[in-house]
Amino acid sequence: MGEWRDGEWSWNWGWRRELMGRELSLLQDLEKLLKECKLMKGKQDFWSWKHDSKGNYSTKSAYSLLNNSIKEPGSIQFNKIWNSKVPLKVSAFVWKLLQDRIPTGENLLKRGMAGGELDFACIFCGKYIESTSHLFFTCEVTWAVWQVFYAWWGQQGVLTCEAWKHLQQHTGMIQNGKLKEAWYALYTGSRPSLILNWLKNNGGRILRMR
C-alpha cells in the first residue's frame, strides 16, 4: 500500500485491474486529500480538534461552533435580537420565528399532529396552510399590517418569504445608528400584535392536540 521514502510516506496502489476514466478521477481526488495529511515516522496517530488553535476539544469551543452556526442565514447582527429594547419574551419569540420553531399549522403537520390540512389553514385568511412565511409575511392580512408600519416609517419594500432575509432587508434600509436601534425594537415588537391574535384563535387547537 505504501512505504517510507526519505522520511516521507509514499503511496503505492496495487490495483487488480486497470482503472477506468471515472475511477482515475476519483483516485486523483483521493490523492489530493491524502497529501493534506502529513504522516510522521515514529509518531502515533492522535485526535485533533480543528476548531481550537491547539487542537484540544472543549465544551466552550463546541458551544461557540454551534452558536455561530445558528446565526448563519446571512451576516445578521444576531445579538441585536436579544439586545433590542423589547421584553425578553418578545426577543425569545422572534428568535424562534427566525429558526422556524413557531407551532404553526404547517409545523404541527410535520410533527404528525392529528387533523387534516383544513384544520391548519391560516387563521387570518383561511386560504392557505398556516406556515411561518405565510402567517408573518405573505398573508393578505399580515401584508396590510406591514403597510401600516411602512407608512409610519416612510419606507417602501417588497416582503420576502423568509424570516432571516426579511430582517436583513429591513434593517439594511436604515443607516442611522439610533434610528436602526429603534427599528429593531419596532421590528421585534410588531410580532406580538400578530401572534397574540393568532394564539387567541389557535391556543385551544394546540392544547387539544398536545
- Asked if 142 and 46 sit in the same domain, the reply is no
The strand ranges marked E within the chain are 2-5, 8-11
Q: What pLDDT score was predicted for residue 118?
A: 56
- Asked if 146 and 98 sit in the same domain, the reply is yes
- Number of domains making up the chain: 2
Question: For the whole model, what pTM was predicted?
Answer: 0.51
- Asked if 83 and 57 sit in the same domain, the reply is no
Rounded-to-integer distance, Cα 82 and Cα 88, Å: 7
Amino acid identity at 5: R
Q: What pLDDT score was predicted for residue 203?
A: 43
Rounded (5°) CA angle 42-43-49: 165
CA 174 to chain centre: 24
Nearest to 27 by CA among 48, 11, 9, 4: 11
- Asked if 64 and 90 sit in the same domain, the reply is no
Q: What pLDDT score was predicted for residue 75?
A: 44
Q: What pLDDT score was predicted for residue 207?
A: 37
Domain span holding position 19? 2-70
Give 10-residue mean pLDDT values along the chain (210 residues): 76 84 85 81 83 88 74 54 75 83 87 68 87 89 81 73 76 56 58 50 42
- Asked if 203 and 125 sit in the same domain, the reply is yes
- Asked if 23 and 50 sit in the same domain, the reply is yes
Rounded-to-integer distance, Cα 169 and Cα 9, Å: 53
Q: What pLDDT score was predicted for residue 122?
A: 87
Helix (H) or strand (E) run with residue 10 in it: strand 8-11
CA distances to 89, 130, 149, 191 from 140, in Å: 27, 13, 15, 16
- Asked if 51 and 102 sit in the same domain, the reply is no
